[in-house]
Amino acid sequence: MLYTNRQLLSEFISKYLKYQTNIKSISGNTYKSYAIDLRQFHGFLNEFDENHKKFSNYKDKNLAALHFALGNWSHLKATSRNRKHACVKSFLKWMHDEKHLKNPLDHHVICPKRPQKTPHFLSVDEVLSLLRYLKDQIKLQGSADDQFKRHRNYLLVLLLYSGALRVSEACQLKWKDFNKSQSQIKVLGKGDKERIISLPENVNNELSKLERLSDYIFSMNDKALNPRTAYEIVRSSGAACGLIRPLNPHALRHSLATHLLSGGMNLRTLQSLLGHKSLTATEKYTHLSVDKLGEVLKKSHPLGES
């Protein structure tokens, strides 16, 4: 079935993507990734030759076709293979659940373990230095357009950090989502799940000062700011400020998570703030508490004074 009826498989891929959109409420970016991965998978299956001697020992030709297709991604990094394999695994499970596959194949798809990387984050002093630099830029003389962009850029970095926002979330913020009286902003996260972010008073006041040129808080030509443009604003701001390591929007999100966890926030509360679906995604920040733990042990360990 995987490779014998290629047209039908293409239709199943389209139905699966609709299922993910309508039932699972995946984001637009996730939809694009799934579509690319499954179209590649379909293309690899089209190249499968069941008569090749490498697959002569396979009794199940569907399984042989599956291994052949997955093998085309073997040169990719573990993180990329993990994402693509997970997508195929989910698709094959859906195929079996919907009775399009007689025998389940999803358990034959192994998702490579992704290496755990320490998130790049700034120290509190680096964040404050960056924000001071951007705020000072607002005071420089220039055209009304230049001053608006400087103010917008400052607010973008400020909100990415203070709200621990993803760059895509920040770019889609609308003025109607901002509640000045309550110092809150409503964020539409992954899977179209909403969460309310409480803003520090100074952030709330700064946001109130930004000129409203469109429905979007961060706009360009009356449209939402493109995430790539936002990424470049953050990168160039970090470089101009003199930060040693290249800065990106997600590093600002990591930074706040690090600072809050080190300050005593529990993981469940942090999970809610970050909009993580599972606690596992939030637990990567626990490594950042090692230094904090060392300080506590020195002060409170029974043998600390010996």
What is the chain's pLDDT, residue by residue, as a tens digit (306 residues)? 565 666 788 999 999 999 999 888 888 888 999 999 999 999 999 888 877 777 777 888 888 889 999 999 999 998 899 999 999 999 999 999 999 888 899 999 998 876 666 567 888 899 999 999 999 999 898 898 899 999 999 999 999 998 889 899 999 999 999 999 999 999 988 777 888 888 889 999 999 999 898 999 998 888 899 999 999 999 999 999 999 889 999 999 888 888 887 777 777 777 777 776 766 666 666 655 545 444 544 555 455 454
| pLDDT value, residue 297 | 45
As a dihedral over the C-alpha atoms of residue 130, residue 187, residue 114, residue 243, rounded to 10 degrees, the angle is 0
136/94 same-domain check = no
| Cα separation, 209 vs 212, whole angstroms | 9
Beta strands in the chain (DSSP E): 178-179, 184-188, 194-198, 219-220, 223-224
| pLDDT value, residue 78 | 87
Tokens 């000062």 locate to 209
Indicate the residue among 108, 133, 163 that finishes a domain: 108
173/250 same-domain check = yes
251/158 same-domain check = yes
72/148 same-domain check = no
302 inside domain: no
- The SS3 call for residue 51 is coil
As a dihedral over the C-alpha atoms of residue 228, residue 231, residue 237, residue 242, rounded to 10 degrees, the angle is -120
155/278 same-domain check = yes
86 inside domain: yes
149/93 same-domain check = no
| pLDDT value, residue 301 | 46
Contact between 121 and 258 under an 8 Å Cβ cutoff? The reply is yes
59 inside domain: yes
182/245 same-domain check = yes
85/176 same-domain check = no
Phi-psi domain of 164 (left: phi exceeds 0; alpha: psi -120 through 50; beta: other) = left
| pLDDT value, residue 282 | 62
Contact between 80 and 248 under an 8 Å Cβ cutoff? The reply is no
* Residue 125, both tokens: 């002093």
What are the two backbone dihedrals, phi and then psi, of residue 137, each rounded to the nearest 5 degrees? -65, -30
| Cα separation, 239 vs 227, whole angstroms | 18
36 inside domain: yes
Report the DSSP beta bridge partners of residue 29.
Answer: none
Report the DSSP beta bridge partners of residue 44.
Answer: none
Indicate the residue among 84, 108, 132 that finishes a domain: 108
66/132 same-domain check = no
- The SS3 call for residue 224 is strand
The letter for the amino acid at 126 is E
The range of the structural domain enclosing residue 36 comes to 6-108
Q: Looking at 73-123, list the stretches that DSSP marks H as alpha helix, in order from N- to C-terminal side.
A: 78-97
Mind telling me the catalytic residues?
Answer: 166, 190, 250, 253, 276, 285
Q: State pTM to two decimals.
A: 0.63
39 inside domain: yes
Contact between 207 and 159 under an 8 Å Cβ cutoff? The reply is yes
* Helix 144-162 with 227-241: angle, nearest 10 deg: 90
The DSSP 8-state label assigned to residue 245 in this structure reads S
220 inside domain: yes
Contact between 253 and 160 under an 8 Å Cβ cutoff? The reply is yes
| pLDDT value, residue 135 | 94
| pLDDT value, residue 299 | 54
CATH number for the domain harbouring residue 34 = 1.10.150
CATH number for the domain harbouring residue 276 = 1.10.443.10
The DSSP 8-state label assigned to residue 223 in this structure reads E
| pLDDT value, residue 296 | 43
301 inside domain: no
207/272 same-domain check = yes
233/130 same-domain check = yes
192 inside domain: yes
Question: Rounded to a whole number, what is the largest CA-CA distance in the chain?
Answer: 75
225/182 same-domain check = yes
| Cα separation, 51 vs 60, whole angstroms | 13
Q: How many domains, the chain?
A: 2
DSSP string, 136-201: HHHTS---HHHHHHHHHHHHHHHHHHHTT--HHHHHT-BGGGEETTTTEEEEE-GGG-EEEEEPPH
Indicate the residue among 108, 138, 172 that finishes a domain: 108
